[in-house]
Amino acid sequence: MDEFYYISSDLLDIETIWNVIEKKQKLRLSDEAKVNIEKCRKFLDEKIASNKKPIYGINTGFGSLCNVKIANTHLSQLQENLVMSHACGTGDLVPQEVVKLMLLLKIQSLSYGHSGVQLETVNRLIEFYNEDIIPVVYTQGSLGASGDLAPLAHLSLPLLGKGEVYYKGKRISSEKVYEEKNWNPIQLQSKEGLALLNGTQFMSAYGVWCIINGYKLSYLADLVGTMSLDAFNGLTEPFHKLIHLVRPHRGQIKTAARILEFIDGSEIALQQKTQVQDPYSFRCMPQVHGASKDVLAHVRKVFKTEINSVTDNPNIFIDQDEILSGGNFHGQPLAMALDYLGIALAEWGSISERRTYQLISGQRGLPSFLVNDPGLNSGLMIPQYTAASIVSQNKQLATPASVDTIVSSNGQEDHVSMGANGATKCFKIMENLKTILAIELLNASQALAFRRPAKSSPIIENYFEKYTEKVPFVGKDRIFHDDIVETIRFMDSLEMNEEIFKD
């Protein structure tokens, strides 16, 4: 296994990022990336020295202060002031795994040679990544338009020896890390602060993390849903490939085939059925799960484009002898994709809760609330309440952020994407979905136990056996919070592979 992942112009995709995370690879710049960064910096220095005209963000103020010319002697202070003044994030702490992704994506974007940063600056970001020096970043503060300004300012503060980081299991000042490492703070040169703060790496990191987990949750939704189907003594006819070939949405076909694969060999499925049809939450899993799979595939394409892009401003084009100011930092493509992904994740949870509701309803020979002595025992009555509450919260969170906007910077930034809010909402929906599926798994497992001596398929029985080693059969009432937490932990332990990314 290669210990390093080399930052280069090669396309970075979701599966590559997952491999870098999974294999704990360290980062290095390719020779190509080093040359691109150094050539761009040299070009910018020469352009400033020979050009007396103001160039936005390089020798001017920022935002609505773009018409204020800054003397060349103050350009370094200008960039440091930018980072400090924009570090005004509030709210919850961004999870460390997401911040580490922000570092990776910022390094990738700066490596193309269109941003004008010093090689030393990028190398320090790589040192942060490789040595798990993770900046403390906050969830609130970005409008998702001039880039993720506040979050990226907090990401960049440690370059200056300021702000806080997580290091060796502690949250400490970056100054202490510099003392331990015997490092000197980076002296930002012209444009560098703007290159660090402009960009969509906050939104992108959240999106990438949600996409990676989305593929895992897609698989689990199919697996747990199939367990519920068999435990409910459901029909397999609705998953016949002929039905789906005449409405050939890719996700629908994939889901139907996977359900048949999961249930193959089930004694319960082969039993004579008395019902003609099953409720939609079982019968329409291919159509509902599949639609969310197709959203996931679409969003993955959007983010693949974004994480291989230059999203700061202005952009430097050496061959064309141009420094151009535009709007690549605007997060609208991501904001809309994150809203769409949030809806897709919410729907997996919505249909999951409906299957849970059917399982506890006392139908198909199963006891009410899936417990012996219902009445004396409440059984799995209240976990369904919990799932219903979370599903309702997800519906509220799935309200689009991208249709909102608010004027900022004295009217200069008069339309914003709100993609950062979309990102944190999507992350919350994803975390909520884990809990909803965990509650369904708890119920499906209990219902399968009541089907004994009949057994399900080898795949489901194997998963059932491993699960019940962690969360045993509910013989009487107990503290179900603990079971839900343990179930989430069990689901998180599912090992991912390349096949999961083919949904």
Which are the catalytic amino acids? Answer: 56
Q: Give Dmax over CA atoms of the chain in angstroms.
A: 87
Q: In what helix (H) or strand (E) does residue 10 lie, and over which residues does it extend?
A: none
Residue in 396, 391, 475 with CA at minimum distance from that of residue 440: 391
- CA pair distance 347, 228, nearest whole angstrom: 17
**DSSP sequence for 394-447:** HHHHTS-STT----BGGGTB-----HHHHHHHHHHHHHHHHHHHHHHHHHHHHH
Identify the burial level of 155 via C-beta atoms within 10 angstroms of its C-beta, where 0-12 means exposed, 13-18 middle and 19 or more buried: buried
Contact 4, 28 (CB under 8 A): yes
DSSP-derived pairing of the beta strands 315-317 and 322-324:
antiparallel
SS3 content of the chain, % helix, strand, coil (to 5): 60, 5, 35
Contact 227, 456 (CB under 8 A): yes
Q: Which residues, other chains included, contact 474 with Cβ-Cβ below 8 Å and sequence gap of 6+?
A: 370, 371, 379, 380, 446, 483
- CA pair distance 330, 67, nearest whole angstrom: 21
Q: Where are the alpha helices (DSSP H) in 111-249?
A: 119-130, 149-156, 174-181, 192-197, 201-231, 241-245
Contact 297, 500 (CB under 8 A): no
- CA pair distance 449, 165, nearest whole angstrom: 48
Residue 188, CA distances (Å) to 39, 40, 77, 118, 492 in order = 17, 15, 8, 8, 41
Residue in 150, 6, 177 with CA at minimum distance from that of residue 84: 150
Contact 293, 332 (CB under 8 A): no
Identify the burial level of 396 via C-beta atoms within 10 angstroms of its C-beta, where 0-12 means exposed, 13-18 middle and 19 or more buried: exposed
Q: Where are the alpha helices (DSSP H) in 75-200?
A: 75-86, 96-110, 119-130, 149-156, 174-181, 192-197
Question: Which residue reads 């809806």 in tokens?
Answer: 343
Contact 194, 82 (CB under 8 A): yes
> Helix (H, G, I), strand (E, B), or coil: what is residue 236?
coil
Contact 370, 474 (CB under 8 A): yes
Question: Which residue reads 């949904």 in tokens?
Answer: 503
The DSSP 8-state label assigned to residue 113 in this structure reads S
- CA pair distance 447, 454, nearest whole angstrom: 12
